[in-house]
Structure 1
Amino acid sequence: MTNAYIISGLITLCSMTLPITASAKDLQDTLFERTYTSVSKGVNTPIRAFKDHPLYPYLEYEKLLRQKTSEKKLQEFVQQYEPSLVADRAWRKWIHFLAKNQRWETIIREYQAKRASTSVKCHYYEAHINAGNKDLAFEEAKALWLSPKSLPKKCNSLFSHLKKDVIQKDDYWERIQLAASKGNISFARTLVKHLPDDEQNIARQYLAAHQNPKNALRSKHVGKGTYSRKVIGYAIKRIARKNYQSGYKTWRKYATSHPFTEEEKGDIESYLGVRAAFNHDADALNKLARIPAIHRSDDASVWMARMALRQGQWEQLQNALNSMHHDTQKRDIWRYWQAKTHDKLGNESEAMLGYADLAKNATFYGFLAADHLGVDYSVLNQEPKDWKQAARKIKQTPGLKRASHWYNMGRDGMGNREWLWTIKHLNKDDQLAAAALALELEKPLLAVQTVAKTKDWNQVDLRFPVLYNKLVKELSSENKVNPAWVYGVMRRESAFNTTARSGANAHGLMQLLPSTARDVGRKLGISRVSKSDLKSPRLNIQLGSAYLKSMLDNFDGSYVKATAGYNAGPSRSVKWTPKSAIDADRWVESIPFTETRKYVRAVMAYTTIYDHKLTKGRGQRISDRLSPVGKRLVN
């Protein structure tokens, strides 16, 4: 008797003799997991014994993939199991099958944008082309084609239509530039052959400029024409990326000798100005302000605002705010600084309106706005909602039941995919109930991700659980550091995931690099710290809180500098510090690294929230923790 039939017999016996208890569920899931693994490998395994298991559609789907597919089988599977993640996968297979068999009218009739992958979109646009609806299809398909990376092979047929009837050489140039901007040079090279022969050498120099910009500028193929100016502009940007002063020097040479348009000048000077601002060049603000607003990039206007903040130039800040794109102006960061600009320029009523709009939010800017108004953090004083009943109800949602079974088997990746698919199809109240359920399942990161789908950042209790409370309090006290700050860092770094590992190889709750952990460990008398040791909450929090304390001591009690140092390294925090003291909120906005800038804002806000939770509403105001940043104090 084969293992497959033994498993089948066991699950049948289990379902006949065992009551529905936790142990019975565990056994059923264990047997299911073995069967699923077997079926996924193509083994002819009986599956009918699992007919009543919530994950049974996955077995059917794996079987379906390994059979000779037909339109009828795929359609029947979709109809039987939708709405579900696995039905969506089968639906995409069905659309691929229809495209292969040129069933264009059926594709148009059955298409659903929310289910569509990139390759399915390609089939849909091709279906419209074959049905005679070319104008709409070409417009949408061209937007899809203009991608900085290679697209699925299933799109090749659609793109053949585009290349024949729509795509021009300027479109190839645009895509080459897009690909280069994302570092996809190898892919960009595949596009060059589609250009006219006399432009291919220029395009190759454009791509060569990515690594060797000075050599590209010396090429005999680079003249003064439109495409040569693209090469020059890109080469100057690549030079400026490493050394902005060299970038400006090179630009001065070419700006006067080549017929750059005003738009081209604005693009190059915007990039150079941003690089100067990154390096806190004293003249960066003036450089950016000299660019006509109509030709200044939105990124350049943003950095003009940041440099105006750093230098306390409020009228220049107002000019920068006025020149930003409308969507940029609506972000809470620039709404806050618009209110503060009104405040500084004497428009008190406008300032108060701006602060009042922000003060109701549990965010960095919301807390700062409340401090300007002198009002309580009202969102932190709301009575927590009891989610138990809603969580019990939402637990019965089929998709969340399936996710729960995957988690029970230790297949967190499968569980997360099922969970995230399910919550996309829930209303806001049910999504919040699902977040509460995630906390019950001891999956705080999943709870955070679930609340994020609602964009309700004021769900403080769901977004900021108090976990490892005893450990955090004990080890924070041992290292003489505020436990709320430790929580703020932990929530931002790992969202309480003990096994979290970043792309930079940081490990555990507070995301320590192994080298940092070893250095801190030696200072604490811990002779050996391995990567696996960092999965221990106690050791990780002990080392992380000790490292935080060292940052705070090195930066003379400055929470923002210490937090920036924890994220980007202490030497960078030193480098970014001005000689003359400025307000901490202004300093934070001038941090060059986007990740670190967002990190400091988040940690300061999270620290305020956890301080409120740990002290039962008697926490420190955020402004009291934001001491001015000035003279470089570091040991």
Structure 2
Amino acid sequence: MKKQSFMIRYSRSLVVSVLTTALCMAAPVKAAETSADTRAEQRELFLKAEYAAKRGRLSEYRLLLNRLKEYPLAPYLELERLQQVGYLANEDRVLSFLDRYEGTPLDWQLRRQWLTYLAGQGEEQRFIRDFRHPGTLTHRCQLIEAERNRGLADQAFIKKVDTIWKHGFSVPTACNAILAEWAELGGRTPEKIWERIGLAADGGNPTLIPYLTGLLPQGIQYLGELYHKVRYSPAVLNSDKPWRGVDRQKEAEIAAYGLKKLIWREENIGLNAYEKLSTRLPFSAQQRQDIAEEFAVALSLKGHAEARVWHQRVPPSALDERTLQWRLATYLSDGDFAALKRVIESLPPAIASGSQWRYWLARASEETGDELTANELYQKLAEERHYYGFLAAAHIGQPVNLEQQPINVSLMEVEEVRRHPSAERAYEFIQLERFVDARREWNHLLTELDGQQHKAAALLASQWEWHDQAIWTLAQIGYFDAVNIRFPMAYGSLLTQASNKVGIEPAWAMAITRRESAFRADAYSGAGARGLMQILPSTAKRLKNDNISFKQLHQPKVNVELGTYYLSQLKDRFADNHLLATASYNAGYYKVLDWLPDEPTRADEWIEQVPYYETRDYLKAVLSYQQIYYLLHNNQGNLFEAIESMMIQPSYD
């Protein structure tokens, strides 16, 4: 792991506590320093032993293993060998290993292979004995089959197979036998088939629907066929032909599903279809509510004139974050602050107390002339460390409050966590730059710690400069006030130099990196983005006019130079507007062009109307992080003053 210089600021009280405890523990320091060379040598021997085990050089492997008995990763050498010879002849060794490391990452890597072997050998009794939940779906089916062969009663068998059946994807072939017997026993009812059709259509594999339709009684197979048609072409709802009236409740279920798709594709056809079907089909109250929520959101996003009508059809008890967000966006688009104020005041206290709604109640109160209420709300919000708090502080000219608190743990508590076997193994994997293995061990470690130990673990990860795990560990227990650990100056020199080179604010680049990867150099996304600043290979190729390998994108220097250069380009294209450049970094330049308003709009209002929820959250996070890093770099002032007074223009040509 390449080390980067960074600085963490602690309060004076914590420094005194740390120094006092350190004096008491001064004696072992020399031994720890002496062991550093030994550890380095052990890492080299570990790699050699691992290679020898994989190549079957047993005498070399055993010799090296004997020299590594006290090394934290020695169990992984034993695992490597057992994965190669884990047959019945070595059962005692396998079971001893599984017992010793049960529940750890070492356990599953061997157990999965061992269970597969036992199933292949027909060793049902051993399989049942050694299976641990949840296992793979294949193993779960093999377990049920083994239990059935050994006397599992019919009803218990049916209940267990129900859980295998109840999802929207294909099942492994290992499940075929139990599913066939389950069907013979009457477990596969039309209602269960219908339920799985719905799961396949809504988020599952829709290609399953024709197969499942064939399992339905012939008289209602038209329903499965209709579900399949609606899945791909919801406009079929506007036709009179599909509705036979054989099972009107199921027809209503299909229609409700299709209407929620149709409104996004062709809103006017969707509105017309609902008017026709609402009197023809017996929609339940829940179905009508779900349709109203989807119509309200879709029509708001499309700027449709009927958006507010549909928002009124959603009862207050059904309001969720998504629906509320687009109700807010609709009122902001209309400039109707009086209606917005009434909506917020009618929200349940648990929702209305959220920072977003307190801020917009302040804005709505101000816009409608209630200055007293507005100022009270702004004052309270300005004391908090988040996007809306920083906006409120800028609005009333009050200094930003970081609300930072140091982690109150002793060196002894940190040392206790460091000596945990999973922590020791994680650290060694970090040194070997095997970060996936390190994270597996760390995640297991966290399952064995309490809240105070979690804090010690976060501090330990920070000391290791393993920043993404320090951040994640604190987030797991909801401890957000350790600002200097959650916002480290990681890769500070690299980010500062690259930012200065292209003329952008270093705190901005730092905030983008914090949001994109939490300073995880080996990060990658499902979309293919890589490294610290999550650069897509296609973006890298365009910026460099050459192909860039994944390996290069994971190199901090290459990645940061590309990311900062790209930010500078986006900022230039938007006439130095870093807010729009930030949105473009997440959603793409041309998407943001599509989102520009028809007339000048205040920045805080425009952000709430960004169509992509991911980009809305991204903007709020990056702006907040930039402010935090700005202050941690010993700068003064509130960057949100620029946001508070900014107008987003219809064009930036």
Which residue does 1:239 correspond to in 2? 262
In the TM superposition, 1:84-483 aligns within 5 A as 84-87=104-107, 101=124, 146-150=166-170, 168-214=189-235, 221-224=242-245, 225-293=248-316, 299-314=322-337, 316-317=339-340, 333-334=356-357, 337=360, 362-368=385-391, 371=394, 376-379=399-402, 382=405, 393-483=416-506
1:593 to 598, 612, 631: 612
* Contact preservation (8 Å) 1:400, 1:422: yes
Q: Distance in 2 between matches of 1:279 and 1:311?
A: 13
Match of 1:631 in 2: 649
- Does the 8 Å contact 2:461/2:470 carry over to 1? yes
382-391 vs 276-285, which moves further: 382-391
Tell me which residue corresponds to 1:620.
638
Change over 3 Å in CA distance of 1:425–1:336 after alignment to 2: farther
Return the alpha-carbon distance in structure 2 between the equivalents of residues 95 and 594 of structure 1.
43
Indicate if the aligned counterparts of 1:208 and 1:216 stay in contact, CA closer than 8 A.
no
Distance in 1 between residues matched to 2:316 and 2:81, nearest whole Å: 61
Q: Distance in 2 between matches of 1:328 and 1:125?
A: 48
AA paired with 1:33?
A: E
Q: More displaced, 482-491 or 566-575? A: 566-575
SS, match of residue 504 in structure 1: coil
Give the Å deviation of 1:605.
1.1
1:433 CA drift (Å): 3.3
Q: Is the 8 A contact 2:125 2:146 kept in 1?
A: no
What runs of 5+ residues in structure 1 fail to find an aligned partner? 1-17, 522-526
The SS at the match of 2:167 is coil
Equivalent residue for 1:574, pick from 593, 596, 604: 593
Q: CA deviation at 1:491?
A: 1.5
User: How far off is 1:332 after superposition?
Assistant: 5.1
Deviations, residues 212-267 of structure 1 (Å, cap 9, x unaligned): 33457659554342223333333333333333333224334434554544543333
**Mapped partners of 1:32, 1:233: distance in 2:** 61
Equivalent-residue separation in structure 1 for 2:377 and 2:158 (angstroms): 44
C-alpha displacement of 1:408: 3.6
Kindly indicate whether the alpha-carbon contact (under 8 Å) linking 2:423 and 2:445 is maintained by their aligned counterparts in 1.
yes
Candidates 32, 52, 55, aligned match of 2:49? 32
Match of 1:607 among 623, 626, 643: 626
Moved more, 604-613 or 265-274: 265-274
**Quick one: structure 1 residues 89 and 548, their matched pair in 2 at CA, closer, same or farther if it must change by over 3 Å?**
closer
Q: Which runs of 5+ in 2 are unaligned?
A: 1-34
Residues in 2 aligned to 1:155 and 1:302: alpha-carbon distance in whole angstroms: 43
Matched, 1:58 2:76: yes
> Retained in 1: the 8 A contact 2:201–2:228?
yes
| Contact 1:125–1:140 under 8 Å retained in 2 | no
CA spacing shift, 1:200–1:67, aligned 2, 3 Å: same
TM-score, normalised via structure 2 length: 0.76
1:444: Cα distance to partner? 2.7
* Post-superposition offset of 1:436: 3.6
- Aligned residue for 2:490, secondary structure, equals coil
Question: Tell me, what secondary structure is at the counterpart of 2:308?
Answer: helix
| Separation in 2, partners of 1:556, 1:203 | 54
- Distance change in 2, residues 1:85/1:601 (3 Å): same
Deviation at 1:197, TM superposition (A): 2.3
Could you tell which deviates more after superposition, 402-411 or 351-360?
351-360
CA contact (8 A) 1:172 1:194 kept: yes
- The answer to whether the 8 Å contact 1:362/1:457 transfers is no
Give the distance between the partners of 2:358 and 2:200, measured in 1 at CA: 33
Secondary structure, counterpart of 2:303 in structure 1: coil
Shift in CA distance, 447/73, structure 1 to aligned 2, threshold 3 Å: same
> Contact 2:384/2:403 (CA < 8 Å) preserved in 1?
no
Deviations 1:469-525 (A, max 9, x none): 33333332333322111111122123334454433333433233344445555xxxx
Partner amino acid, structure 2, of 1:485: W
User: What SS is found at the alignment partner of 1:21?
Assistant: helix
Distance in 2 between the 1:378 and 1:186 partners? 54
Instruction: Tell me the percent identity.
Output: 27
Following the alignment from structure 1 to structure 2, what is the Cα–Cα distance between the partners of residues 435 and 384?
9
1:633 is paired with a residue of what secondary structure? coil
Counterpart residue identity of residue 287, structure 2: E
Distance of aligned partners of 1:308 and 1:183 in 2 relative to their CA distance in 1, 3 Å threshold:
farther
> Match of 2:479, SS?
coil
Q: Given residue 207 of structure 1, which amino acid in structure 2 is its aligned partner? A: H
- Relative distance call for 1:158 and 1:27 in structure 2 (3 A) is same
Residue 144 of structure 2 contacts residue 160 of structure 2 at CA under 8 Å; is this kept in 1?
no
Structure 2 CA distance for aligned equivalents of residues 325 and 138 of structure 1: 43
Q: Which residue of 1 aligns with 2:560?
A: 541
Change in Cα spacing, 1:152 to 1:420, as seen in structure 2 (3 Å) is: farther
Alignment partners' CA distance in 2, 1:95 and 1:318:
61
Structure 1 residue matching 2:532: 3-state secondary structure: coil
- CA deviation profile, 1:435-460 (whole Å, cap 9, x unmatched): 34434444333333333322223322
How far, CA to CA, are the matches of 1:589 and 1:434 in structure 2?
37
- Single out whichever of 413-422 and 428-437 deviates more from structure 2: 428-437
- Residues 612/442 of structure 1: CA separation in 2 closer, same or farther (3 Å cut): same
Pairwise CA distance, 1:562: 2.3
Output the TM-score relative to the length of structure 1.
0.77
CA separation of 1:42 and 1:459: change in aligned 2, threshold 3 A: farther
CA distance in 1, matches of 2:365, 2:484: 34
TM-aligned CA deviation for residue 611 of structure 1: 0.7
Map of 1:495 onto structure 2: 518
Task: Supply the AA of the counterpart residue of 1:67.
Answer: Y
SS at match of 1:632: coil
Deviation at 1:337? Answer: 4.5
Once residues 494 and 418 of structure 1 are traced to their aligned partners in structure 2, the CA distance between those partners, rounded to angstroms, is: 20
Compared with structure 1, are the counterparts of its residues 302 and 382 closer, same or farther at alpha carbon in structure 2 (3 Å cutoff)? closer
Aligned counterparts of 2:348 and 2:280: Cα–Cα separation in 1: 32
SS at match of 1:210: helix
Structure 1, residues 538-595: CA drift from partner, whole Å, max 9, x if none? 4543443343234334434444322112211222223223334444333222211121
1:165/1:612 Cα in 2 relative to 1: closer, same or farther (>3 Å)? farther
TM-aligned CA deviation for residue 607 of structure 1: 0.6
Equivalenced residue count is 606
Query: Structure 2 counterpart of 1:202, which letter?
Result: L
Output the amino acid matched with 1:174: E
Q: Is the 8 A contact 2:498 2:560 kept in 1?
A: yes
Give secondary structure in 2 for the equivalent of 1:202.
helix
Give the counterpart of 1:21 among 32, 38, 54.
38
2:23 maps to which residue?
A: none
Q: Is the 8 A contact 1:305 1:316 kept in 2?
A: no
* SS at 1:445 equivalent: helix
Change (3 A) 1:312 1:71: farther
* Whole-angstrom CA distance in 2 between matches of 1:407 and 1:236: 51
Q: Structure 2 residue aligned with 1:513, among 523, 532, 536?
A: 536
SS in 1 for 2:606: helix
Aligned-residue offset at 1:606: 0.9
How far did 1:53 drift? Answer: 3.4
Shift of the 298–404 alpha-carbon distance from structure 1 to 2, 3 Å rule, reads closer
Change (3 A) 1:627 1:283: farther
Q: Distance in 1 between matches of 2:309 and 2:202?
A: 27
Contact 1:358 1:365 in 2 (8 A): yes
Q: Contact conserved, 1:578 with 1:629, CA < 8 A, in 2?
A: no
Structure 1 residues 627 and 500 mapped into 2: Cα distance closer, same or farther (>3 Å)? farther
